[in-house]
Chain A
Amino acid sequence: MGISDMKSLCNGNTLGWGALILAFALVPALMTSQYQLNVACNVLIWALFATSFNMLWGVTGMLSFGQALYYGVGGYAIGLTVTYLGSQWYFAAFAAGLLFTLVLSFLLGLLVIRVGGVYYTMLTLAFGQLAWQIMFKMYDFTGGDDGLQGITLPGLLADKVYYYYFVMILVLVAVWVLKRMAYSPFGLILRGVRQNPNRVRFLGRRVRRNQLRIYVVASLFATVAGALMAGVDGSVHTDMFFWTTSGEVILMSVLGGISHFFGPFCGAVVIILIEDIVGAHTEYWSLLIGSIIMVMVIGFPRGLVGGALDVAAKVRAILQGEKHDDTTLTAGLGK
């Protein structure tokens, strides 16, 4: 598989986007219950969260363990506003959540990007846990570990099918925007920051400034995901801020493959479906996910998408009678 083939695969094309939109658009027609529609919403929302997270980790090399903070901000912006002011403030709450994240992620970003590697990861975890603790303790305001229930949505969004399409459109547009970003000059400099930050400085570019930019951008999209989640079953919980939520998007990214744009998206789809399908039959569904992750990390370190592309390349090479060249398989790295 040549680079151009690989890039067209990674870039996705009109056909790919058409198929993706069609598949998700048909969900309400194929689903037989409201619960299944909620699962489909979960798939989309986690896919957005994981994709935005991967702009930090897979693209820029910044492994954040605290993106749940911004996901929680989105959820609680909707939850608190609707609970205390009413559903007519839903869109204002959405905007307020984004504005809050813009300011918060900028300020925290200034701090966390000053350190690198594991220290950065630990610092993001610390801020995430701090936010969780604050939300957990402010019982009278946030509902503590009970969270907030009965979040109603305005107008047509109160209808589950309309809300599903609202989620679908926002998520797919957001993923499309992130993808444009990943392949733009901005995306290229972010990949440069991951691969060779010293060279980036010698291009006359500031490493930290670019890290800060993507930290803010990824956090904003995490907030969108959190805000959308608040409307799925009309409730928010402090778990949205908890470190396991950040860990879950890391798992999704690893499973799907961090070196491909759609890797985390696919990882999110698989994990949510396993949770749902296997979880209906046994409480040990997390054991299956753990086993799958182990197999993937050992056998397919480039994740589901990377592994699938590797297999496709091998099959193609065999069919064409060519010697397989491993080096071409990494053409999608960082994409």
Chain B
Amino acid sequence: MTPLLQLDSVNKAFGGLKVTQHLSFSVFPGEIAAIIGPNGAGKTTLFNQITGHLLPDSGRILFKGEDLVGLTTQAIVKKGLGRAFQVASIFPEETVLDNIRLAALANLDHTRRFWRPSAEHRQATEAAVAILASLGLEEQGGRLAFELSHGDQKLLDIGIALALQPTLLLLDEPTAGMSPEERQRTRRLIGEIRGEYDLTLVFIEHDMDMVFDIAHTVRVLQQGALLAEGSPAEIQSNEEVVKAYLGEEL
């Protein structure tokens, strides 16, 4: 099977600090891939390189066989790569529905249209309403985004990314700062949306219960390098990983 995302010896340094070191791995269609590692291991920096926010010093990042290195974030997003952020990246003064509708309008390339009110763009509105229902936010559609709870804002961030109809969705700590109930709900929702939207998921997470529960594969980063990769069971029994990162958690 051809990998959907393939990293080929990616390197990145900030001055003398190496944040990504000879990183190579592949993610296949339909996979739920977790990236774990201690703070400062280079996980978010890796996402920033995949999405064009940072330029790798060397190496290739192939998405659907095409090298993303050097492309703008906008171009990468248009190729079908979506992202939700560690701190929910939403439009706080817009309604929840408008947040997702805006993403749907962007996906339809309708954001240059200046005459009909955005609420009358039926295709985008229907897509937004469907996503709200998938995320269990349909009751919140009319509220302003900043009024939502932290957990719901994180879900809205995912909803915005979903409205772009990505084939690969990058989730940066989707349950960070959530209550146990919200974590449980998010864990369930991530599994559901993957099936519903035919997604491949790569997520960064510190909640090991979630990682070992939903991930098909796990990559462990340490100081920007790949310490280990394998199935959740393999990672859990990897002595090096246990020693370096998991420690007492197991």
Contact = CB atoms under 8 A, between A and B. Distances in A.
Given A185-B121, A189-B106, A198-B89, A3 B95 contact: yes
B27 interface: no
A204 interface: yes
A333 interface: yes
Interface in B134-188: 142-144, 146-147, 160-161, 164
A100 interface: no
B93 A333 contact: yes
A237 interface: no
B105 A188 contact: yes
B115 A184 contact: yes
A191 B92 CA distance: 10
Contact of B118 (A184, A203, A210): A184
A203 B102 contact: yes
A331 B94 CA distance: 8
A330 B146 CA distance: 10
Interface string A25-69: 000000000000000000000000000000000000000000000
A185 B105 contact: yes
Contacts of B77: 201-204
A330 B93 contact: yes
Given A183-B118, A195-B94, A205 B144 contact: no
B45 interface: no
A204 B74 CA distance: 4
A179 to B, nearest CB: 10
Contacts of B78: 204
A186 interface: yes
Contacts of B105: 185, 188-189
A185 B147 contact: no
Given A185-B105, A204-B78, A199 B112 contact: no
Contacts of A334: 93-94
Given A3-B95, A195-B94, A334-B94, A204 B164 contact: yes
B28 interface: no
A180 B120 CA distance: 12
B110 interface: yes
Given A204-B77, A204-B78, A196 B89 contact: yes
Nearest to B74: A204
A39 B142 CA distance: 42
B73 A201 contact: yes
B106 A205 contact: yes
Nearest to A325: B147
B233 to A, nearest CB: 34
Contacts of A181: 114-115
Q: Which of A2, A187, A189, A204 has the largest number of chain B CB atoms within 10 A?
A: A204
A203 B164 contact: yes
Interface in A172-214: 180-181, 183-189, 191-192, 195-196, 198-199, 201-206, 210, 213
A327 interface: yes
B231 interface: no
A201 B78 CA distance: 10
Interface residues of B, number: 43
Contacts of B144: 3, 327, 330-331, 333
B51 interface: yes
Given A4-B142, A331-B144, A185 B90 contact: no
Contact of A191 (B89, B93, B101, B121): B93
A31 B116 CA distance: 37
A177 to B, nearest CB: 9
Contacts of A202: 51, 73, 77, 82-83, 89, 161
A199 B89 contact: yes
B107 interface: yes
B88 to A, nearest CB: 10
Q: Which of A186, A191, A210, A334 has the largest number of chain B CB atoms within 10 A?
A: A186
A189 B119 CA distance: 13
Contacts of B243: none
A184 B117 contact: yes
B111 A205 contact: yes
B143 to A, nearest CB: 8
Contacts of B110: 185
B117 to A, nearest CB: 5
B126 to A, nearest CB: 15
Given A180-B115, A184-B117, A189-B111, 13 more contacts: A3-B142, A183-B118, A185-B105, A188-B118, A189-B106, A195-B93, A196-B90, A201-B72, A201-B73, A202-B73, A202-B82, A203-B102, A213-B112
18 contacts: A3-B144, A180-B115, A180-B117, A183-B117, A183-B119, A185-B110, A191-B91, A191-B93, A191-B94, A192-B91, A195-B92, A196-B90, A199-B160, A203-B102, A203-B164, A204-B75, A206-B74, A327-B147
Interface of B: 51, 72-75, 77-78, 82-83, 89-95, 98, 101-103, 105-107, 110-119, 121, 124, 142-144, 146-147, 160-161, 164
